[in-house]
Structures are given as C-alpha cells and as structure tokens.
C-alpha cells in the first residue's frame, strides 16, 4: 500500500501542474502560506491537519478524501 503522504504529495504536484499554476498560486488558492505549501509538496511536512487538507481540496475543487486516492 502506498504511503498516504506520498500519495498526497504526488496529487498536489499533479493537480498543480495540470492547472499550470505555481506553488505560490496554489497556496493562495488554498489560503495557506507559500512556505507551508512548499513544505507540504516537498514532503517536509508529514502531518497534515484536517483543516489544511480541506483548504487544499477546496483549492482544486475536490473533496478532502479525493486528495488521498490515486488521481487519473
């Protein structure tokens, strides 16, 4: 089974690239700091709070659980 953190990291990168936006723009959409977003995407922040997961999901028009599954 794939690690949920790795799955989240890969999904954030995939979603951001598909939209053609920067990490800073993704952070702004999620209403979190760019530094926090960069830490999440780089895997330096391993424990993601539920409210942060919800903000990230909203930024990409998804439900939080959708960030934790394989995105086609």
Predicted confidence (pLDDT) per residue in 13-38, tens digit: 999 999 999 999 999 999 999 999 99
Q: What is the pLDDT of residue 45?
A: 87
- Arithmetic mean of pLDDT, 53-59: 98
Domain count, the chain: 1
Q: What is the pLDDT of residue 36?
A: 97
Which long-range contacts (C-beta less than 8 Å, at least 24 apart) are formed by 40-45?
40/8, 40/9, 40/12, 41/9, 41/12, 41/13, 41/16, 42/9, 43/5, 43/6, 43/9
**Confidence (pTM):** 0.91
H-assigned helices in 1-72? 4-19, 23-30, 34-42, 50-59
**Residue 48 belongs to domain with CATH number:** 1.10.260.40
72/45 Cα distance (integer angstroms): 24
Average pLDDT, the chain: 94
């Amino acid at each position: 089974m794939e690690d949920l953190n790795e799955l989240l990291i890969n999904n954030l990168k995939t979603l951001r690239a598909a939209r053609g936006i920067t990490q800073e723009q993704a952070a702004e959409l999620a209403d979190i700091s760019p530094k926090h977003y960069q830490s999440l995407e780089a895997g330096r922040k391993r424990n993601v709070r539920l409210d942060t997961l919800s903000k990230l999901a909203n930024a990409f028009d998804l439900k939080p659980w959708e960030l934790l599954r394989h995105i086609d």
